[in-house]
């Protein structure tokens, strides 16, 4: 659908910013999108329709919000920077089904937002060009809170997107890959050139889609313990799984107990954490728990 205003063009963005005397705050990760093609790719990856809702984090001056308003039944956008509120009020005036909330998304009660803003929609997706300084905390909070989400489609730093989508045995694979893949199925949508933003960020960017899982891909007895084992396994990447686990969970007195437990889980003690699949970590955590190691 063609926008009423098409905020995301270099000319219109500069005009809005100048008229409101707005200056970018680097500390808030403010890199605004000025490219219609990228916005259309982001919105189409979210699979929205007029029965669904969209939650946007950091609307800026509304470039993506406008597109979401044209594709979803209801849109809620959470913006931390108070200076952007009058701009958003102006540019989003034609869209009555868009609500802007002022605040830090990390401090917001998202369960309450879902109950009040998205009561009348079939499914909700998060769609955002995220502030890069808080990408991981925001995404982990969305996933760990087990919100009823369909997709999370976000522009993030390319390197972080690659880590999230990485497979075992690759250099990018680590605790972030496993955490994200436990809660969702990640898929890289596209790599994005720096020229689509003002100001241009110093890092490369990518759009990633996380299809949120209804149930995890493996059975985990105790999630807290499972993630502790994973963090321990990657504490020192060059060390073997055996040495990393010894440092975290064992004492001099009981460390001989580890190798038989690894064997029981079907894991060779000389392997490194980066070669273990999610299934293997789940098995390892269960075996350690059963032996009272936590």
Residues 99-138 as x/- pattern, contact with ligand SAM by CB under 6 A: -----xxx----------------------x-x--x----
Ranked by CB distance to ligand SAM, the top (closest) residue is 58
Burial classification of residue 31, based on how many CB atoms lie within 10 Å of its CB (0-12 exposed, 13-18 middle, 19 or more buried): buried
Q: Which helix (H) or strand (E) holds 161?
A: helix 158-165
For tokens 């955590």, the residue is 285
104 annotated to bind ligand: yes
CB of 97 to ligand SAM, least distance (A): 18
- Residue span 30-69 as binding mask against ligand SAM, x where in contact by CB under 6 A, dash where not: xxxx-----------------------xxxx--xx-----
105 burial level (CB within 10 Å; 0-12, 13-18, 19+): buried
Number of amino acids touching ligand SAM (CB under 6 A)? 23
Told to check if 29 binds ligand SAM by CB under 6 A, we report: yes
CB nearer to ligand SAM: pick between 66 and 162: 66
> To the nearest whole angstrom, how small is the minimum distance from the Cβ of residue 140 to ligand SAM?
14
Given the complex with ligand SAM, which of 66 and 280 has the nearer CB atom?
66
Cα–Cα distance for residue pair 8/35, rounded to 1 Å: 6
Segment near ligand SAM (CB under 6 A), from 23-31, 45-53, 259-267, 286-294?
A: 23-31
d(CA 170, CA 159): 13
223-233 and 278-290 helices, crossing angle to 10°: 110
d(C-alpha 216, C-alpha 233), whole Å: 20
Tally of residues, the chain: 294
Q: Which stretch binds ligand SAM (CB under 6 A): 74-82, 87-95, 144-152, 224-232?
A: 74-82
Residue 31 annotated as binding? yes
| Residues 49, 68: Cα–Cα separation, whole Å | 10
Residues 6+ apart with CB under 8 A from 236: 243, 244, 247
Minimum Å gap between C-beta 106 and ligand SAM is 5
Binding segment toward ligand SAM, per CB under 6 A, in 76-84, 118-126, 169-177, 213-221: 76-84
Of 32 and 234, CB closest to ligand SAM: 32
Q: Report whether 205 contacts 158 (CB < 8 A).
A: yes
The DSSP result for 173-190, as a single string, is -SHHHHHHHHHEEEEEEE
56 annotated ligand binder: no
Cβ proximity to ligand SAM: between 154 and 165 the closer is 154
Q: What whole-number distance in Å separates Cα of residue 265 and Cα of residue 261?
A: 6
Annotated binding site for S-adenosyl-L-methionine: 31, 33, 58, 79, 104, 129
Which residues bind to ligand SAM, rule: CB under 6 A? Answer: 28-33, 57-60, 63-64, 78-81, 84, 104-106, 129, 131, 134
């Amino acid at each position: 659908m063609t926008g009423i205003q098409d905020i995301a063009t270099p000319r219109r963005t500069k005009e809005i910013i100048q008229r409101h005397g707005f200056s970018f705050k680097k500390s808030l990760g403010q890199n605004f999108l000025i490219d219609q093609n990228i916005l259309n790719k982001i919105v189409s990856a979210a699979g929205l329709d007029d029965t669904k809702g969209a939650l946007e984090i950091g609307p800026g001056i509304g470039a993506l919000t406008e597109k979401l308003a044209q594709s979803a039944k209801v849109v809620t956008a959470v913006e931390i920077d108070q200076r952007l509120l009058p701009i958003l009020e102006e540019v989003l005036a034609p869209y009555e089904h868009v609500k802007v909330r002022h605040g830090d998304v990390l401090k917001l009660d998202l369960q309450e937002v879902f109950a009040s803003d998205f009561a009348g929609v079939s499914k909700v997706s998060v769609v955002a060009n995220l502030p890069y300084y808080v990408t991981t905390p925001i995404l982990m909070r969305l996933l760990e809170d087990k919100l009823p989400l369909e997709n999370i489609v976000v522009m993030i730093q390319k390197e972080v997107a690659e880590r999230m989508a990485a497979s075992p045995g690759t250099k990018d694979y680590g605790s972030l890959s496993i955490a994200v893949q436990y809660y969702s199925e990640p898929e890289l949508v596209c790599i994005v050139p720096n020229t689509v933003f003002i100001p241009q960020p110093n890092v490369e960017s990518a759009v990633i889609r996380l299809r949120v899982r209804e149930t995890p891909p493996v059975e985990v007895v105790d999630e807290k313990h499972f993630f502790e084992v994973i963090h321990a396994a990657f504490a020192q990447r060059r060390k073997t799984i055996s040495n990393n686990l010894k440092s975290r969970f064992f004492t001099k007195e009981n460390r001989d107990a580890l190798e038989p437990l690894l064997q029981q889980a079907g894991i060779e003690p000389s392997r490194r954490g980066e070669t273990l699949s999610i299934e293997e970590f789940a098995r390892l955590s269960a075996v350690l728990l059963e032996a009272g190691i936590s």
